[in-house]
Every structure is written in structure tokens, then in C-alpha cells.
A and B are shown apart, each in its own frame.
Chain A
Amino acid sequence: QQQVKQSPQSLIVQKGGISIINCAYENTAFDYFPWYQQFPGKGPALLIAIRPDVSEKKEGRFTISFNKSAKQFSLHIMDSQPGDSATYFCAASLIVNQAGTALIFGKGTTLSVSS
């Protein structure tokens, strides 16, 4: 019940195309859903995040779509660029002791954008 399932494991998209990564969860106690981008040798960096009372959030070329009833959310990268080539992780947040956050991460999607 604590898992976040992410798919696909890897994705190849042509430059200018749309990249779509999907995640699903079971625990209804999750209250915040961030996406992180990670380049080799670096730590994850927050890309965009959404709360479950919102169905969509857009920041530049990145959009999260959230379906609370289906317990699913997805990341769309519009006009994908070679610089977007990285590993993307969805995550779900649980409140822990005194309002700290334990992030439960998916297994990641390796995105390659070909030029």
C-alpha cells in the first residue's frame, strides 16, 4: 500500500515530441505528489508538484495530470528537448512526525530525447 508504481521504465522520444510518464498509488493518505528529475551523478531536483485537490498543474513545458478517483497521475513534457534526457521519478508524500515529509518514490523512468 506504500508503493508508487511508475511506467514506463524507459522512454525514447523524438525532439519536439510529447513525453508521458504515468504513476499509480494505493494509499489515500498521500497528500502531495511531486516529480523529480535526476541527471547522472546528481541528486534529484524538484520539477513540478501537485496536491490532490487539483486535477492539473502546468509549469512551462511540464504538466501534471491528476486523477484522484483512479489514484493515478502523470507527467507530460511538451516539445521534448535533448536537454530533458534524464531519469524522472514520481513520488507521493506522507506526513511523518511533526509534519515532516517521507517521500515514497517510484522506480524511475529513463527518458532519452533524440535529436
Chain B
Amino acid sequence: DTGVSQNPRHKITKRGQNVTFRCDPISEHNRLYWYRQTLGQGPEFLTYFQNEAQLEKSRLLSDRFSAERPKGSFSTLEIQRTEQGDSAMYLCASSGWVPKGEKLFFGSGTQLSVL
């Protein structure tokens, strides 16, 4: 399968613990995005990488959140000192350059539950 892969699919953790999610984008895509989706809502933009450079961060991304994309390949999203409000689906998307209109390919997400 050559789509966007996210691991784990589900994560249950206790409040205060740290968690890390991984995203493997489509191999030829140089842009990678993280979004967060809560129940009954549309996805919300968190951050964006072009190759290994993190170029944009939403104000939703508090200092407890950190994302990396070493060598411009896979990406990780870490949440430190998790809170119950962090419970959500974390979606990764990748894209290649398209002259008119960027097409994002989303993974199936990591569902985080903070108890």
C-alpha cells in the first residue's frame, strides 16, 4: 500500500503521560501536515513541514506538542504531559506540489484517549 501510514491506530494513556505518534507519508511527497479532529468536528490544522523544515505552526499547538520530520521522511508528533482535552484523532496528510490546488492525502489517523 502506498498511502499515508499512521501508527499506532489507537492509543490509550493516563493523564500526565507522554505519547508519540508516527506518520509515514507517500514516498515522493515533500510536504507533510498534521491535523487534529475531535468528535463531530472537522479536522483542524496543527503544523506543516516541507521536507525536514517545520514551516508553520497553529496556535492550537501548545508548547506541550512537538513535531519533527528528520531527513524529510517520516514524521513524529509528541504530546508531553497529556491532558483529557488532548483526546482526539490525530491525522497526518502528505502532498506533492500541484500548480493549482494542493491535494492532500490523509492517513487513517491515530485515535488518542486520555483517561
Q: Which of the segments B11-19, B38-46, B64-72, B76-84 contacts the partner chain?
A: B38-46
User: What chain A residues lie within 8 Å of B45 (beta carbons)?
Assistant: 102-104
Contact A43 B91 (CB under 8 A): yes
Tell me the number of A-to-B contacts counted with CB atoms below 8 Å: 74
Contact A102 B101 (CB under 8 A): no
Which residue from chain B places its CB closest to the CB of A50 in the assembled complex?
Answer: B101
B102 within 8 A of A: yes
Interface size class of B (residues with CB under 8 A): 20 to 34
Number of interface residues of A (CB under 8 A): 28
What is the interface of chain A, defined by CB distance below 8 A to chain B?
Answer: 6, 32, 34, 36, 41-46, 49, 51, 89, 91, 93, 96-108
User: What chain A residues lie within 8 Å of B25 (beta carbons)?
Assistant: none
Which residue from chain B places its CB closest to the CB of A9 in the assembled complex?
Answer: B40
What is the interface of chain B, defined by CB distance below 8 A to chain A?
Answer: 4, 31, 33, 35, 40-45, 48, 50, 55-56, 58, 91, 93, 95, 97, 100-109
User: What chain B residues lie within 8 Å of A106 (beta carbons)?
Assistant: 42
Which residue from chain B places its CB closest to the CB of A36 in the assembled complex?
Answer: B106
